[in-house]
Structure 1
Amino acid sequence: MSKYTLFFLLLAFAACKKDKGYYDYTNELKKYDGNTYDFLHSQQQYDSFLLAVDRVGLTDSLRSGRYTVFAPSDASFIQAIDNMNTLRAIQGRGPIYISSLPLEQLDTLVCRYVVRDTVSAGRMQLQDGLDLPAIRYGYPMHGKFSRTDAEGHVNGGPGIITYSDTKGVIYTDRWSNATTVAIDIVTDNGLVNVLDKNHQFGFDEFIGRMNPTTSTPWNDYPFYIPGVIALEQYNRGGNKVAYLDFSIDNKGGQYRPAENVDIASGEDGFKIGWTETDEWMDYSVDVTETGSYKMQLRYGSGGDNGKLHLLLDGTTVTGSAMTTKSTGGYSTYTDIYVSGVMLKAGKHLMRLYFDFALYDLRFIKLLPEGRPLPIPGVITLEDYDPGGEGVGYHDVTKENSGGKYRPDESVDIDYSRNSGGGYQVGWTDTGEWMNYTVDVKQTGYYIASTLLGSPNDGRKFHIEFDGVDVTGSVTVPNTTDYHKRQNANVTVYLTKGIHVMRFFEETGGYDVKSVTFRPLN
């Protein structure tokens, strides 16, 4: 029998009507001479699934790894995508397809159709079925084998598997289910079960994930304010949800190439370019305290009179309007500062709106006016206390080797390269330190996350509050590069009130960007 016709015979056998009374169905294992990926490809009705598999990087896994696949047909994808694009048309949004779906969301869903190890239907005959961890992230799926009824005989029909997305809960009435039409197809490296064509890809989550109506933070947490807003790290959610961009692609092709916001390289980091009037980008933010802030915007422009402003939860932020002047070109950067930016404490959706787009944008920084840096929050380490050598800082050199921020002082500050925006302190040396006046809002335990980069082993620092070492000696992770950063985390106990925090460099040999304090609970 040809391997190209095997699958169709199997489907016909499983689906044919039994109209002559009692029969005793015996489930037979069918064998394909080849790997799982090639089997699915040979059937010519899983092209959509395989395109998604290719996009999320599971091709080699299906060719050589030992997995069980619950295969959704092209019809499952067509139904899901057609429904989504019908809704997008009503919303005035353009269509999207498998090749342009948000990759991280597609990855999450595709992985639910591939489970670890080769798990036959017989192993799912337990009364409660069998828990099946997905190939990535160990996401909890579930399989239960049973037999259908045939004329004249209860449970005398073909065997089926009810395959369920458990949604991470134990309550079965909240699960989303799919059923098979063929089971236990054996390949050289795994098993394949075929899902009914009426199953819609995504287990009821496809539209919500691929066509969100609310945006979510790019990182694990909202941006703390005070702090730096890395403009390339606008929210997830896509065009007309997390941002509005009139181009059909990312013209710069950097950082988030599958989206529409135009991101290019700038100052060894990233910039938002090809801006157009009335475009916008959203950012989830967490404002630690209500009050007035000073805002810095770094930009480049080839002309005068560019305009932009901020909105918080849809309301224009008082004092946030900015007007840019020519810097001599879009790749020549300068800073504009505005004071009196009034923000309210709490978690908000902040929108950067382009009133008249005549600029490329690097990052925004917001600092409290006339107040200490609050904790919880992020301490941007280039913003040490005033007073100079021996008061605000101690540095063994007399010049700012980076020269990119506070150039008349001795702390060595460079741009924060790669992603993230803002600045970082570099050229660190043994015994150097920097002081920060801070306001701890609540007594308790905090996770202190220090963002550093280093190609060296065994480098150390500690953090003091009012002269007391609260962290102990902390080892800097070897990240292989000064501008490839990683957090060093430690738990600290802080008391409410105004304090002087000192970042103390026990050794040099690393660049350091910030310390973020988050409540432990």
Structure 2
Amino acid sequence: MEAESSSAQSGTQTETTTDTGGGLNVAWYETGDWLDYSVNVATAGSYTVGFRVSSAYGGATLQLRNSAGTVLGSVNVGNTGGWQNWQTINATVTLPAGRQTLRLFASASTGCNVNWLSFASTTPPPTSSTTIQAEAFTSMQGVQTETTTDTGGGQNVGFIDATDWMAYANINFPTSGTYTIEYRVASPSGSTLSSDLNAGSIQLGNVTIPATGGWQNWTTVRQTVNVNAGTYSFGVYAQAGGWNFNWLRITKGTAARPAETTLATADAGSLGRSLEVYPNPAAHVLHLRAETSLAGSRYQIIDATGRTVLSGQLQATDLDVSALKAGVYTLRLTAEDQASVVRRFIKAQ
């Protein structure tokens, strides 16, 4: 959360910052001053809160409080060596799930600057698994169903040709993090499938289907992906034909990623491994950082309905998102000679 994006405040002012990423910081933060933030916590649990602070004097104590005034956690800010010499100080807090107001309160301060706050879950989510029958698609192109001899009986999807697809609506990923996706498949000579979310706006990558020796000789193949918490349309796409499909199973990993870190497409090279977007949520400017140069990369920003709302070619490592409405967006970035990389971010009010 950018410090200056508060929903209400008392006693503070803003100024231009020289901290990484630029923009504004909150300044003249003295005893009794406060900043309120409206946040939506996806999962109840323990969180590490990072406070990005600076002070030429020291002696400040900042508290994070809930709407009832209960102190959830606090940090002491020492002399960092100057008003623009920044440090990140961490505290651990416990938050309930849901929409709530958090207050950053200066219980003591002779002068302190704040640039942003970050939140990362420290509570491993429970392992959970969801199995979806292949024939339970909500929409499809080109496929048919048939009786299967696989364990459990019933039907499988068959007659799959290249570019055929199946989509499954309202698939919930309860928390952000790592998921294993398994596909129960059969193929006489082998093939390739891919998966995606929300009609291809988020690509999860390809999976190789081995030759199983027959249309009803079944095996299970899998991939590991990182997905932000949410409810999606899950798509399975035939990169090549010649395979049958009985079911897919989605299993939550045992360790969550911070919600601001989202998935990258498979085979996206160093860009896919290193691209960061911040702050998240973003109020005015979305900053991009990667190991490789981003100059000249093509970008698209896609809203929750799948509509492209911004696009163009990067001239710098930041994007002006101030004109966007509040909500969740997908950034698709394509660098030369690399696959597209996808990141999700929240546009704040």
What is the TM-score when the length of structure 1 is the normalising length? 0.33
Flag the structure with more relative contact order, 1 or 2, with Cα contacts below 8 A and sequence separation at least 6: 2
Bigger fraction of residues in strand = 2
Bigger fraction of residues in helix = 1
